[in-house]
Structure 1
Amino acid sequence: MSKGNTPLTQKRRPDRAALFIAAFLAALAGLIFWDTSRLATIVSYSGIGPATIPFVIACGLLFLAAWTVFEALRGDFPVRDRQEFGPVIWIVGGLAAQMLLLKPLGFSVATGLLFALTAAGFGKRKLWFTIPIGIAICLGVWLIFAGLLQLSLPAGPLEHLFW
């Protein structure tokens, strides 16, 4: 065994991705603190008001940001695998399709396409199989939410066949 730089004696650089995540968490906490300060002017009869839970969430996010910075500077994060962009593109495409098709085609078809494209991102590329399954599952969800719970979800031609 040779002497020199072994993995145990080699000093790792700070994890830049973790530092970016910590900055994002801190910025999100700051935004919630700012919004909470506007809610704090609402007077309630007890010490717990509409600003209490957002304040606790912001404190938790700030704690997580500080912890992430500490771990990033120590270099304790495991080495990550290379990012695969193909699955991300499938899922983002599914989200975009859902947003574009939700109003004209309704909840079941738009969300069924999101289901199928997300499944394709995870490796199930048989769209002829996953699209009908996704639409059927989403139609069941729509029927439960619209029929039993009386909640309003966008209805398209398929939903109008059932309701």
Structure 2
Amino acid sequence: MTAVEEKAPAPPREKRGWLKEHSELGVSLLLFVVGVLVVVDTLLESGAGSDSDPLGPRTVALVLGGALLLLSVLLTVDVLRGGHGEAEAGEDIDLSTPPDLRTVGMLAGFLIATAALIPLLGWPIAGVVLFWGATYSLGSRTYLRDLLIAAGVSVVTWVIFDGLLGVDLPGGPLMGVFGA
């Protein structure tokens, strides 16, 4: 060995485009668009304050929209000054593994099916499809147990939201069984 060891040349750095280097600007743009939509929709909606509430119901929406716009501007300034988010460094995540598109696709399919079934069959049955479909998509193969748990969770959430909290979720065929 010599006193001066030869070092292997460092691998060339990937050339990344300006947009890839500043990808957080996409989040900033999303915040800006949502903020503008909230503010514009709030201003176009009728509903002035009453005598007991001079601020009116629009105040929270305007504050939220303004906060989204402010966050958008602050994030844009930070990104343009060189700030960037840290890459995921979790020890239980292998970043070189590609995403499991089959699982994501199945989850999306069950979510879309649930949205389509709620008006037709009501939340309790559509919720069973959602909860059972999620367990199936994520790898569980104990069908009967998962179906029973999904049914229980779906009915309990429907009773809590519809019956106790007053959030109107369609009951479908179970409406007659559990009351209106």
TM value normalised by structure 2: 0.67
Runs (5+) with no aligned partner, structure 2: 1-6, 89-94
CA contact (8 A) 1:87 1:120 kept: no
For the residues of structure 2 that align with 1:27 and 1:33, how far apart are their CA atoms?
Answer: 10
Structure with more relative contact order (C-alpha pairs < 8 Å, separation 6 or more): 1
1:109 aligns with 2:125: yes
Indicate how the Cα distance of structure 1 residues 24 and 127 shifts in structure 2: closer, same or farther if over 3 A, else same. Answer: farther
Please provide the CA RMSD for this pair. 3.4
Question: Given that residues 15 and 72 in structure 1 are in contact (C-alpha distance below 8 angstroms), is that contact kept between their aligned partners in structure 2?
Answer: yes
Partner of 1:88: 104
Stretches of structure 1 that go unaligned for 5 or more consecutive residues are none
Identify the residue that residue 141 of structure 1 maps to in structure 2. Answer: 157
Quote the residue 2:36 is aligned against.
Answer: 30
Give the equivalent residue in structure 2 for 1:125.
140
What CA distance in whole angstroms lies between the structure 1 residues aligned with 2:99 and 2:79? 19
1:56-76 per-residue CA deviation (whole Å, 9 max, x = no partner) reads 101111122123324434242
1:155 deviation in Å?
2.0
Q: Which amino acid aligns with 2:158?
A: W
Which has the larger Rg?
Answer: 2
Contact 2:127–2:150 (8 Å) recurs in 1: yes
Separation of aligned partners in 1, 2:142 and 2:75: 39
| Distance in 1 (alpha carbons) for counterparts of 2:159 and 2:165 | 9
Report the residue type matching 2:121 in the other structure.
Answer: L
Asked whether 1:56 is paired with 2:63, we answer yes
Which amino acid counterpart does residue 57 of structure 2 have in structure 1?
A: P
Task: Give the whole-Å Cα distance in 1 for the aligned partners of 2:162 and 2:59.
Answer: 33
Report the Cα distance in structure 1 between the residues aligned to 2:108 and 2:129, rounded to whole angstroms. 12
Mean Cα deviation higher: 133-142 or 97-106 = 97-106
> What is the aligned partner in structure 2 of residue 76 from structure 1?
84
Range that drifts further, 81-90 or 23-32: 81-90
Aligned: 1:66 with 2:73: yes
Task: Give TM-score, length-normalised by structure 1.
Answer: 0.72
Conserved 8 A contact 1:14-1:72: no
The number of equivalent residue pairs is: 157
